[in-house]
């Protein structure tokens, strides 16, 4: 491979990388989400779990009820 061919290949790679980076940046700024549906479902499930934990911690029940509630959640 000649040096000039190598230079052309390197320039082509750099141009392609810049075009792709700009496209991805525009997608993020435009509000488009590159997240997969599986990731979105996982986030929703984690939010539900956090809400459950917050409810358990903020309830005014005794410690035995809290322990029983935690054990019932582990069994799921």
pLDDT the model gives residue 65: 73
**Pair (53, 69) in one structural domain:** yes
| Total domain count, the chain | 2
**Pair (17, 41) in one structural domain:** no
Under DSSP, is residue 34 helix (H, G, I), strand (E, B) or coil?
coil
**Pair (46, 69) in one structural domain:** yes
Task: Please return the burial class of 69, using the count of CB atoms within 10 Å of its CB with bins 0-12, 13-18 and 19+.
Answer: middle
Give which of 40, 19, 17, 21 is closest to 29, Cα–Cα: 21
**Pair (53, 26) in one structural domain:** no
Could you tell me the pTM of the whole model? 0.38
**Pair (69, 39) in one structural domain:** yes
Mean per-residue pLDDT, 47-75: 77
pLDDT the model gives residue 61: 61
Distance CA 41, CA 47 (A): 10
Digit-coded pLDDT (tens) for 2-48: 888 888 999 999 999 999 998 887 776 655 555 678 888 998 999 99
Range of the domain at 22: 1-34
Give which of 56, 75, 58, 76 is closest to 66, Cα–Cα: 56
**Pair (47, 65) in one structural domain:** yes
């Amino acid at each position: 491979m000649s040096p000039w061919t190598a230079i052309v290949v390197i320039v082509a790679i750099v141009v392609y990388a810049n075009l792709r980076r700009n496209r991805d940046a525009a997608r993020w700024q435009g509000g488009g989400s590159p997240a997969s549906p599986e990731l979105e479902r996982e986030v929703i499930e984690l939010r539900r779990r956090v809400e459950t934990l917050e409810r358990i911690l903020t309830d005014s029940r005794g410690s035995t009820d809290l322990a029983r509630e935690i054990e019932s959640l582990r069994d799921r």
